[in-house]
Structure 1
Amino acid sequence: MKITDVKPADYNVFYSTYINKAPKETDLIDAFEKAESVVLQFFKSIPEHKWDYKYATGKWSIKEVFQHIIDTERIFIYRCFRIARHDKTPLAGFEQDDYILPSNAQNKSVKNLLEEYKVVRQNSIVLLKSLSDEDFKFIGISNGANLSALAAAFMILGHETHHIEVLKALYLC
């Protein structure tokens, strides 16, 4: 399935930024596999001394941004899983800022963060490979709005692209 299979009724307009940043011409599984390589290469290229950098008071460090990418993938792949299993139970939203401090990202090594990302991504890929087109098209409720399993999956890709763009613009300039 491709991003062109995602319809506006499949997600809350709030997530348009992420949907619009998702790969356009690539199959979902291929996109996840390619993005894994791109994300790992990007984060491995960051000098060790930059990982604790925050561009302003109250902003996240690079470690915390990476942890946020990982945590968000966990949450959205869980949403994808529940919806793809035709679960009609409304899924709650989450407050991203509440996750950072207890994540202990600042005390994790770069090696541990990279490993955590790889394991989460592989879990996502294995799940996505197991789903049918019908499963991807199923629409549930997440954070009070419609969400298809396919839209949830593509949001992961657009979300990490968004944050890499932010890191390049505000942290690594």
Structure 2
Amino acid sequence: MIKQDLKQVEFNEYYSGYLNKLPDTLSLIKGYEKGKKDVIDFFTSIPEEKLTYRYLPEKWSIKEVFQHLIDTERVFMYRCFRIARKDATPLSGFNQDTYITPSRADYKSLDQLVSEFEINRSNSISLLQSLSDEDLLFIGNSNGGAMSARAAAFIVLGHDIWHIDIVKERYL
């Protein structure tokens, strides 16, 4: 299964910005495996003194951006799981900003964040490996719009790239 297989009816237009960050030939499992290395390599390359930097006082720190990637993957993989299991119950959205303060990301070490990311990504890969192509094609309702299980999974990968690009542009 590759990103190019996605159809517009499988996701809300809002997510196109993330999906457009991905090459059309990206395979889902390989994307998760490569993305795991890429995200870890990126965040561990940032000097320690920059990790709590905010380019504006009301913006997230780099550690908080990393935590946001972890939290968003959790939410979207939960969506992927529920939709793949053919659960037609509408899934609610989430307010990403309310997740940051209680995460206490700035008080975590980089090693703690990396470990949390690695465990979470490994769980995501395990979930994806357990799902059939048919499971991933199922379309449910997420945040008021149509979303297939595979779209939820691909969005995570594009979301990671989106935020890494923002960190490169505005923080470093």
Displacement of 1:140 in angstroms is 0.2
Displacement of 1:114 in angstroms is 0.5
Asked if the contact 1:23/1:31 (under 8 Å) is kept, the reply is no
Aligned equivalents of 2:27, 2:16: Cα separation in 1 = 19
Q: Which residue of 2 aligns with 1:83?
A: 83
Q: Which residue of 1 aligns with 2:128?
A: 128
Gaps of 5+ in 2: none
TM-score, reference length from structure 1: 0.98
SS at match of 2:94: coil
Q: Which residue of 2 aligns with 1:166?
A: 166
Aligned equivalents of 1:23, 1:103: Cα separation in 2 = 32
Alpha-carbon RMSD: 0.6
Aligned equivalents of 1:24, 1:49: Cα separation in 2 = 37
Alpha-carbon deviations, 1:61-117, whole Å to 9, x = none?
Answer: 000000000000000000000000000000000000000001111111111000000
SS at match of 1:146: strand
Structure 2 residue identity aligned to 1:43? F
Structure 2 residue identity aligned to 1:38? D
4+ residue runs over 4 A deviation: none
Displacement of 1:137 in angstroms is 0.4
1:6-155 equivalences under 5 Å are: 6-155=6-155
Count of aligned positions:
172
Gaps of 5+ in 1: none
SS at match of 1:147: strand
Structure 2 residue identity aligned to 1:69? L
Displacement of 1:21 in angstroms is 1.1
Matched-pair identity in %: 56
Aligned equivalents of 2:9, 2:26: Cα separation in 1 = 21
Aligned equivalents of 2:140, 2:57: Cα separation in 1 = 38
SS at match of 1:63: helix
Structure 1 residue identity aligned to 2:84? A
TM-score, reference length from structure 2: 0.99
